[in-house]
Amino acid sequence: MSFWKKFLACSLTAVMACSLAGCGGGDSSESSISGADGAAENDGTFTIGVSEVAEAMGAGWNLGNQLEANSGGTPSETAWGNPVVTQELISAVADAGFKTVRVPVSYLDKIDDANGYAIDTAWLDRVEEVVQYCYSEDLYVIINIHGDGYNTIDGGWFLVNGEDQDYICEKYEAVWKQIAERFKDYDEKLIFESMNEEFDDTYTDPNPDYYANLNQYNQIFVDTVRASGSNNTHRYLLVPGWNTNIDYTVGDYGFVMPTDENCTAGENRLMLSVHYYDPWDYCGETNIKTYLWGAKGNEAITAGASSTGMGSWGQEDYLDGQFQKLYDSYVSKSIPVIIGEYGCIDKSTASADFSGQIQANRAYFNGYVAGKAASLGIIPVYWDNGVNAAYGFGVFDRTTYEQTQPEIISTIVEAVANKDPQAGADVTVESTAERSSEVHAYIGIQTEIYTFRNAYNDASYGAATEHFNTLIKWSEDNEIIDTGAAFTDAAITGDGTYSVSVSGYDFSQDSSKLNMLFISTDFQYYPTMHVDNVVLKCDDTEIPIENPVVMADAQGNLYVELVNIYNTDLAALDYTMPTDSFTVTFDIIGTANVLE
């Protein structure tokens, strides 16, 4: 599963009236009595009315790639590389000034279809435990059904384009009934979100029949929650349109706001959810080298950055127009809007000389989104996926709880507090680019019986350990055996052709194939780098590699995959296990960013 949010930026201009529905008018200034455990007593009132909720929720932050992470359809909060969520992390988020945490949740095979769609109790307990982390810091919390609606997820069932809609609706109602029952006595700080980025996985105009299914889901959600009683009769409920896309929600594409006749609040308690990653070539695309945005990007160009780094659309005026649509169609009609996700990935490696300006530009973009949203009464919730490296959205280290992007955090918080889109206009960040006279590439390998050499940065067997220059295999007693093989690494001093290899071992004696073969490095990956003419040599047989995967690893260093049975996107390779050696020869271009 990719760590990157997949979202198509659409530049449509049609604006049509939507069907709007609330649950009556009135004022909600009554007081609420909170229980000792953080849940409110069921006195039928909440303290924060629709006109105050945006101010109360303030700046938001996503606990992304955690409770919605999964492996093979089994939810696991560590499946996508993040550590277990702790109270300390949530406390750090609160201390930074965020007032709302969105907790995406996947259920997938934690739902027992054969037992009335019962949710695994331990998993629901864990969701509640994380909610309690947030309550202990007096934060607003949003929980949803997240990854179950992806066509690309193993076990995804909640699909607008699914064949058996009766089954989907029945299961969806049963799942929300259980969630609603579990949390019905929690007070107004807990918000339920019906779904996430629900669509048919095609980035074209919505299919009307599928959109009708989405509208039906939202109505089932509202009716099911309200019917569960207690504080759920007047809780804020959050619903999206097609793929949380602004144009497909505000425009005349079929979105219908659900009715809420059973709400007891005396005023509207439905909210609209949208996401904002426009322009996508700046915000999330790793292959398009757009790393500057808006007025701050133009400042970097004036200072000498390449103008090719600036995107061709989606600047401040476009964002202003998109958010104005949300205000006119919803906020002005007392329907709060939450931007449930927004952000832009770390592209500071795109240009070593301007890495500081690129990071400052990120702070400006995120501050502009947050500030403009707040100025219109819209609630912005930043997307953090926990990845603090090239192309990551992370702003906190989830192990140490330190801020990894303090300039982004402070700009967002200030922008929302002051309702100021220009909060990041004067932000400066020092360049972190480092150059050396010599950097290195290393061959990595894993056979099907786990004879291996791990990557340069691997904590257990990497360069900082005694095992890095050992081709390891295991004894029957799980002791490390040195196979006696030797590694040849490459000292890279400039653009050119290099080779890395492992030799002196008969790989064919214990394996018929590789699990992994790759090149790791000790230098940063820059999008301007190119690795070409890759040739794998098995003993004396040469095999050209047509499409190696060239990317940044978790630490941001250059990494090249040749074989990886765990990566289904990588083309299979036809080879025979050698009796002596693997050698990889390659050309590298664009090393000027890392070399003196």
Report pLDDT digits (tens) over 174-212.
999 999 999 999 999 999 999 999 999 999 999 999 999
Q: Given a cut of 90, is residue 468 above it in pLDDT?
A: yes
Q: Which DSSP letter does residue 76 get?
A: -
The confidence score (pLDDT) of residue 43 equals 43
- The string of pLDDT tens digits covering residues 337-347 is 999 999 999 99
At 433 the pLDDT is 64
Alpha helices in 465-510 (DSSP H): none
Q: Looking at the domain assignment, is residue 221 inside a domain?
A: yes
Q: Is the pLDDT of residue 440 over 60?
A: yes
Is residue 16 one of the residues assigned to a domain? no
Q: What angle do CA 361, 197, 265 make, to 5 degrees?
A: 100
> Does residue 6 register a pLDDT over 60?
no
| 522 & 573 share domain | yes
Q: Are residues 350 and 413 in the same domain?
A: yes
143 Cβ neighbours under 8 A, 6+ residues apart:
103, 105, 127, 131, 179, 183, 190, 191, 192, 193
Residue type, 89: L
Query: Is the domain of 212 the same as that of 328?
Result: yes
**What pLDDT band is residue 45 in, cutting at 50, 70 and 90?**
low
Tokens at 319, concatenated: 């964002």
**What whole-number distance in Å separates Cα of residue 417 and Cα of residue 460?**
44
* 406 and 456 assigned to the same domain: no
pLDDT given for residue 28 in this prediction? 32
Shared domain for 444 and 409, answered yes or no, is no
What CATH number did the domain enclosing 569 receive?
2.60.40
Write down the pLDDT at residue 101. Answer: 98
User: Which strand (E) or helix (H) includes residue 327?
Assistant: helix 316-329
- The yes-or-no verdict on residue 9 having pLDDT over 60 is no
- Check 193, 285, 341, 561 and give the catalytic one: 341
Q: Which of 388, 418, 448 is the last residue of a domain?
A: 418
At residue 33, does pLDDT exceed 80?
Answer: no
- In a shared domain, residues 378 and 447: no
Is there a contact between 50 and 28 (Cβ–Cβ < 8 Å)?
A: yes
* DSSP helix/strand/coil, 530: strand
Are 348 and 448 found together in one domain?
no
Q: d(Cα 100, Cα 140) in Å, to the nearest integer? A: 4
Judged against a pLDDT cut of 50, whether residue 7 lies above it is answered with no
**What is the percent of the chain with per-residue pLDDT over 70, rounded to a whole number?**
92
Q: Which amino acid is at 588?
A: I
Whether residues 496 and 382 fall in one domain: no
- So what's the pLDDT on residue 358? 94
Structure confidence by residue, pLDDT tens digits, 394-422: 999 999 999 999 999 999 999 999 999 99
Task: Please say if the pLDDT value at position 36 is more than 80.
Answer: no
Residues 497-523: tens digit of each pLDDT:
999 999 999 999 989 999 999 999 999
CA angle (574, 550, 515) in 5-degree steps:
40
pLDDT in tens, 218-251: 999 999 999 999 999 999 999 999 999 999 999 9
Check whether 24 has a pLDDT greater than 60: no
Are 152 and 264 in a shared domain?
Answer: yes
Q: Assess whether 383 and 345 both reside in one domain.
A: yes
What does the pLDDT look like over 259-304, one tens digit per residue? 999 999 999 999 999 999 999 999 999 867 799 999 999 999 998 8
Residue 363 confidence (pLDDT) above 70? yes
Q: Is 430 inside a domain boundary?
A: no
CB neighbours of residue 512 within 10 Å: 11
* pLDDT exceeds cutoff 70 at 559: yes
Q: What is the mean pLDDT of residues 378-402?
A: 95
Residue 13 has pLDDT above 90, yes or no: no
Q: Is 377 found in the same domain as 481?
A: no
Q: Which of 455, 491, 517 is nearest to 591 (CA)?
A: 491
Q: Confirm whether 581 is domain-assigned.
A: yes
Q: What is the token pair recorded at 333?
A: 């009609």
> 6-20, 337-351, 399-413, 450-464 — which one is most confidently predicted on average?
399-413
Sort residue 304 into left (φ over 0), alpha (ψ -120 to 50) or beta: left
Model confidence at 359, in pLDDT bands (50, 70, 90)? very high
Q: Is 341 a catalytic residue?
A: yes
- Residue 39: pLDDT over 70: no
546 assigned to active site: no
Task: Give the pLDDT score at 63.
Answer: 98
CATH number, domain with residue 59:
3.20.20.80
* The predicted structure's pLDDT at residue 16: 26
**Residue 494 in this model has a pLDDT that exceeds 60:** yes
Residue 129 has pLDDT above 70, yes or no: yes
Catalytic residue among 197, 407, 414, 561: 197
- Is 13 inside a domain boundary? no
Classify residue 163 by burial, with Cβ atoms within 10 Å: 0-12, 13-18, 19+.
Answer: exposed
What is the Cα–Cα distance from 457 to 463, expressed in whole angstroms? 7
pLDDT for the residue 350: 80
Q: Give the chain's mean pLDDT.
A: 90
For residue 538, give its domain range: 439-593
- 193 to each of 70, 271, 490, 518, how far by Cα in Å? 20, 9, 52, 41
Within 8 A by CB and 6+ apart from 524, the residues are: 349, 390, 434, 552, 556, 557, 558, 593, 594
- Number of independent structural domains in the chain: 2
7 belongs to a structural domain: no
Query: How confident is the model over 60-76, as pLDDT tens digits?
Result: 999 999 999 999 999 99
Q: Which residue has the higher pLDDT, 19 or 92?
A: 92
Q: Is residue 367 part of a domain?
A: yes
Q: 559 and 486 in one domain? A: yes
Domain boundary among 368, 387, 418: 418
- pLDDT for position 281: 94
State the pTM of this model.
Answer: 0.76
Within 8 A by CB and 6+ apart from 228, the residues are 177, 180, 181, 184
Domain contains 22: no
Among candidate residues 389, 418, 447, the one where a domain is terminated: 418
Least Cα distance to 303 among 353, 352, 339, 244 occurs for 353
The rounded distance, in Å, linking the Cα atoms of 166 and 183 is: 26
How far apart, in whole angstroms, are the C-alpha atoms of residue 393 and residue 346? 7
Largest Cα span, the chain: 81
